[in-house]
Amino acid sequence: MNREINTEIVSGIIGLILTAVFFFALEDVFWMSLVFPKTIVFIMGIIACALVIKGAVQPSRNRIFNVGSNVRWIVTGILFFSWVLIMPLFGFFVSSVVFITIIVGYLAQARMQLTIGKFMIWIPVVIGEVTLFYLIFTKVLYVPLPTGMFF
């Protein structure tokens, strides 16, 4: 994925796809609710076309996804989504302790050898951290966090 592409053409094409998505989602509503989004959809289409034309006339290539390990950000993203998706099932506290520990372990293995001893140190730290946030949000700020089957 760490390669050079014409970002203007790619951005323009994405813009055109988004324009099409929002254009066809324009429902049959009264003009007051429609006039502004319709105008913006057209403007977005024009800008996207301009980007494609500019990319074709003055092609310039830029390197993308060169921030570091692509596998690491993709796996971290998947873990974030999984964490949030299982939250209604297991509750905020349990899912956070589990997923923070997994993410800590995953990111730490890039710089050190993982051992059970390290997890024995990390897990209490993670539990303490999650407990602190949990108490602040539920007892001080009165935010009803997802409880799931636990709390």
Partner 1 sequence: MLLDPVILLSIFAGVSAGLFVGAMPGLTATMALAVLLPFTFTLPPLHGLVALGAVYMGAIYGGSFAAILVNTPGTPSSIATAFEGYPMAKQGRAIEALNIATIASAIGGIAGSLFLLLLSPPLAKLSLRFGPAEYFWVAILGLTLIASLSEGSSIKGMLGGALGMIIGTIGVAPIGGETRFTFGMPVLQGGVAMIVALIGLFVLPELYTMAAKGKTALKAIEVDSKARSSFWQVTKTVFSMPGNLIRSCIIGEIVAIIPGAGGNVANLVAYNEAKRASKHPEKFGTGLPEGLVATESSNNVTVAGSMVPLLTLGIPGAPPDAVILGVMMLHGLRPGIELFTTSGHLTYGFIISMGMAAIVMVPVGLLGSRLIYKVIFKTPVYFLVPTIAMATILGTYAVRNSYTDVIIMLILGTLGFLFKQLGIAPAPIVLGLILGNIAEMGYVQTILGGQALQYPVLKLFENGLSHILIGMILFSALWPYFSSLKRRLRSKGGPS
**Overall size of the chain counted in residues:** 151
Q: Is 7 helix (H, G, I), strand (E, B) or coil?
A: helix
User: CA geometry: angle at 11 spanning 45 and 43, to 5°?
Assistant: 20
Residue among 86, 123, 127, 145 that touches partner 1 (CB under 8 A): 145
Contact between 14 and partner 1 (CB under 8 A)? yes
Contact between 8 and partner 1 (CB under 8 A)? yes
Contact between 119 and partner 1 (CB under 8 A)? no
Contact between 104 and partner 1 (CB under 8 A)? yes
Contact criterion met (CB below 8 Å) for 6 and 55:
yes
Contact between 91 and partner 1 (CB under 8 A)? no
The residue among 106, 75, 110, 97 whose CA lies nearest residue 151 is: 97
Residue among 4, 56, 61, 88 that touches partner 1 (CB under 8 A): 88
Contact between 77 and partner 1 (CB under 8 A)? yes
Query: Following DSSP, what letter does each residue of 74-139 receive, concatenated?
Result: HHHHHHHHHHHHHHHHHHHHHHHHHHHHHHHHHHHTTTS---HHHHHHHHHHHHHHHHHHHHIIII
Q: What are the backbone dihedrals phi and psi of residue 82, each rounded to the nearest 5 degrees, phi first?
A: -60, -40
Residue among 4, 17, 20, 30 that touches partner 1 (CB under 8 A): 30
Question: Which residues lie near partner 1 (CB under 8 A)?
Answer: 7-8, 10-12, 14-15, 18, 22, 25-27, 29-30, 32-37, 40-41, 43-44, 47-48, 50-51, 54, 62, 64-65, 67-70, 72-73, 76-77, 80-81, 83-84, 87-88, 96, 99-100, 103-104, 106-108, 110-111, 125, 129-130, 133, 137, 140-146
